[in-house]
Amino acid sequence: MTDRLSGKVALVTGASSGIGQATALAFARAGAKVVAASRRDAEGQETVRRIQEAGGEALFIKTDVSKASEVEALVNKTMDTYGRLDCACNSAGVISASSLLTDVSEDEWDRHINVNLKGTWLCLKYEIPAMLKQKSGAIVNLASAASIVAFAGYAAYAATKGGILALTRSAAIEYAKSGIRINVVSPGSINTDMLNSATEDIVSQLAAAHPVGRVGEPEEVAEAVVWLCSKAASFVTGHNMLIDGGYSVQ
């Protein structure tokens, strides 16, 4: 544990696995009290257990970020429990198997929009007023290298991540003078459950596509999120931090 975020309260959506879980654990290591949110109850509770086992404080709230009532309840419960909200990482998201855009069903398109883009907007919609009460706060949204680099077969996913990038920039401008910093991280290929389901050949290709010669780890993204929420990044807002092993600069 460190004291970088001692006395702070951090909320993380998508905290049941991957980058979201790693970020929740990283916030706790930095000294923050953590509210972990996810649709998956057992996995979310496991995140809380790991934080508590390491000596941290955490609370799990089951949440579907595509539903306004549940996001509002999440933030209200956070405020009722801790009385403040200092940091938030809006990590919840979905991605479908590769498919040409003309083969994407309307249901799949709507699912991406509702969870990835609408879900991020809803989180901002309710997190920002909570932070305005204390006139300070830091939010990090999760986009993707796909927000600026084209990946064939992932049009729906890329469209939502590009939308998150634009949404973040607009929000950052709107609330900069209110003491709230809003940034976005855009990971490349990261070693999560989604990647683990791919074949060894695909994983090897992805690793080779990154100049550093490997895929990233969730903890590497999590550390960037914590930095963006810390005082060390006090003059950073509206920024898209690419965490992609150099993929996007090729």
Whether residue 74 contacts residue 37, with contact meaning beta carbons closer than 8 Å, is answered with: yes
End-to-end, the C-alpha distance of the chain in Å comes to 37
Rg, the chain, Cα only: 17
User: How many CA atoms within 13 Å lie on the side-chain side of 228?
Assistant: 30
The C-alpha torsion from 154 through 160 and 163 to 169, rounded to 10°, is -100
Q: Please count the helices (runs of H) and the strands (runs of E) in the chain.
A: 9, 7
Pairing status of strand 33-38 against strand 240-243: unpaired
Q: Is 157 a catalytic residue?
A: yes
Residues in the chain: 250
Residues of the chain with pLDDT under 50: none
CB burial class (10 A; 0-12, 13-18, 19+) of residue 28? buried
Q: Could you give all domains of the chain from N- to C-terminal order, each with its CATH number?
A: 9-189+219-244 (3.40.50.720)
| pLDDT at residue number 198 | 61
How far is Cα 2 from Cα 21, in angstroms, rounded to an integer? 18
Q: Which of 57, 2, 63 is nearest to 29 (CA)?
A: 2
Selecting among 126, 154, 157, 175, the annotated active-site residue is: 157
CA dist 227 and 231 (Å) reads 8
Residue among 112, 7, 124, 26 nearest 74 (CA): 124
Looking at residue 228, its pLDDT comes to 98
Distance between alpha carbon 12 and the CA centroid of its chain, in Å? 7
Supply the pLDDT for residue 245.
94
The pTM of the full predicted model, rounded to 2 decimals, is: 0.95
3-state secondary structure of 15: coil
Helix (H) or strand (E) holding 210, with range, is: none
Tokens of 217: 């780890």
Determine the pLDDT at residue 222: 98
Per-residue pLDDT tens digits for 178-187: 999 999 999 9
Q: Is the dihedral of CA 160, 186, 101, 170 positive or negative?
A: positive
pLDDT in tens, 149-175: 988 888 999 999 999 999 999 999 999
Measuring CA to CA, which residue among 70, 73, 72, 47 is closest to residue 58? Answer: 47
State residue 92's pLDDT score. Answer: 97
Would you state the pLDDT for residue 213?
92
